[in-house]
Amino acid sequence: MREQDQLQRVFGSSLPPFPPKYYLAMTTSMADERRAQLEQYLQNVTADPNVLRSDVFIEFLKLAQLVLSCTQKICTEWLPTASTELEMETSNTFNITAEKAFLDIFLPNGRSVNIEILTSDSAERVLEVVSHKLRLSRELVGYFGLFLIRFYKEGSLSVVKKLADFELPYVSLRSSEVQNCKVGLRKWYLDPAFDSVLMGCRSAVELLYMQAVQDIEKEWIKPTQGQRQELEALQKENNQTKFLQLCQEVQHYGYMQLDPCHCDSPEPGCRAVLSVGNDEINCCITLPDNRTQDVVFQMSRVKCWQVTFLRTLLDMDGPQRTLNQNLELRFQYSEDSHWQWFIIYTKQAFLLSSCLKKMVSEKMAKLAAENTEMQIEVPGKSKSKKYHIQQSKQKQYSSFLSRKSKIKRAEGDCVFGTIKEEDL
């Protein structure tokens, strides 16, 4: 494989060995094994932030998406078919060229911005294009992101996933198995205090205002009756700045709202609604007797988390095997000086994982900024010494684990990578 050879030349022996190729037709079990090997390979490779950020690897990921778009496959999931090799080993066989295309980017107020792109343009590039068209200050582009959003007929919506910088929005939209999806622009930070950074840009304020109004309409944020009346008055005046300032006091403002899902606590199968933001995971759990219980998990007490992809075969004998694909996210949480696992069963597990990682990175960046300012003066010396206080705690996470069925895992079976400050 050409891309593997290029990575090998750049990173040498630090790379894991690439899974050997089957040159003959694969049986079902061989295809399953091959897919699992490729999943494990990608997981191991992306554990190294230097590889993950390298131009060679990013180009490989982009090429994989383009190849898979030709076969109507999803680029981020390795389906167990005989063509599993396609995305990994036929880059020279397929003559894939980028084409000009038009893409609608939807804003929180329902309006869309039509932009001209190449089908090979990454989310990072598309974000730059739409931000320029909206006259968003260049230095503020990083506070926003592109999301795959599902729109329902009754007017509700669901944020399916955050598009990674290397993802191709045009391809992701076309290959998505989720119906009625569009690419939407939303702010991408979970600490509401960052609003203050954007207040000097009129376009940024307008985007924040649109999203706040939408979140109130969708009941994703929960103003009191008094706050709602004040917000409605400010909305009539079109006083966007004061509107956003008041939103800072509203419950769950700036949080990411997830679809209803299930969790394993206090009993397995309990229905739950999650809101994530402001350094916490807010979980409204419906108990078996239909009472509700609000549980708040502070990120400072979360040690690690992992996403597991559970596949259950529904049709073994048909010409095309059917997969029931489920995701779970579990995180380890400290309560009463004991570590315990909390499991969430949701199709938005990757979005939730992205939110958790975002909150960790925001917290670490804030602590790093504060710590670099701290100095200790040593008395009795003509020159002062600077002691930079290092952050003692590090978060750990595991982004993805693959399993064919639900298996009880021991704590030692979990694979975690450490988030370092330089990785962010």
- pLDDT tens digit sequence for 78-118: 444 434 444 444 444 445 577 899 999 999 999 999 999 99
Query: Taking phi first (over 0 means left), then psi (-120 to 50 degrees means alpha), and beta for anything else, what does residue 56 get?
Result: alpha
What is the DSSP pairing of strand 144-151 with strand 181-187? antiparallel
What is the DSSP pairing of strand 112-118 with strand 100-106? antiparallel
Is 242 within 8 Å of 234 (Cβ atoms)? yes
CATH architecture assigned to 262-377+389-407+415-423: Roll (2.30)
pLDDT in tens, 207-260: 999 999 999 999 999 999 999 999 999 999 999 999 999 999 999 999 999 999
329's tokens? 């996210």
Higher confidence at residue 32 or residue 340? 340
97-188 classified as CATH 3.10.20.90:
yes
Q: Which whole number is the average pLDDT over 161-190?
A: 92
Q: Is the dihedral of CA 310, 420, 363, 186 positive or negative?
A: negative
> At 141, is the secondary structure helix, strand, or coil?
helix
**C-alpha of 232 from chain center:** 32
Is 192 within 8 Å of 277 (Cβ atoms)? yes
- Nearby residues of 329 by Cβ (< 8 Å), 6 or more positions away: 305, 306, 307, 308, 343, 344, 346, 349, 352, 353
Confidence at 154, pLDDT banded by 50, 70, 90? confident
Higher confidence at residue 97 or residue 295? 295
pLDDT of residue 401: 53
pLDDT of residue 137: 94
pLDDT in tens, 23-47: 778 788 888 788 778 777 777 777 7
Is 340 within 8 Å of 264 (Cβ atoms)? no
pLDDT of residue 9: 82
Q: How many residues does the chain have?
A: 424
Q: Distance between CA atoms of 63 and 69, rounded to whole angstroms?
A: 10
What is the DSSP pairing of strand 302-315 with strand 396-403? parallel
Q: Distance between CA atoms of 210 and 18, rounded to whole angstroms?
A: 47
Q: What are the structural domain ranges in the chain?
A: 2-89, 97-188, 189-254, 262-377+389-407+415-423
User: Is residue 6 scored above 90 in pLDDT?
Assistant: no
Confidence at 75, pLDDT banded by 50, 70, 90? very low
pLDDT of residue 207: 98
Is 85 within 8 Å of 73 (Cβ atoms)? no
pLDDT of residue 337: 83
User: Is residue 183 scored above 80 in pLDDT?
Assistant: yes
pLDDT of residue 44: 76
CATH class of 189-254: mainly alpha
CATH code reported for the domain at 2-89: 3.30.1520.10
Q: Distance between CA atoms of 27 and 37, rounded to whole angstroms?
A: 15
Confidence at 22, pLDDT banded by 50, 70, 90? confident
Q: Distance between CA atoms of 286 and 262, rounded to whole angstroms?
A: 9
Q: Which whole number is the average pLDDT over 305-331?
A: 64
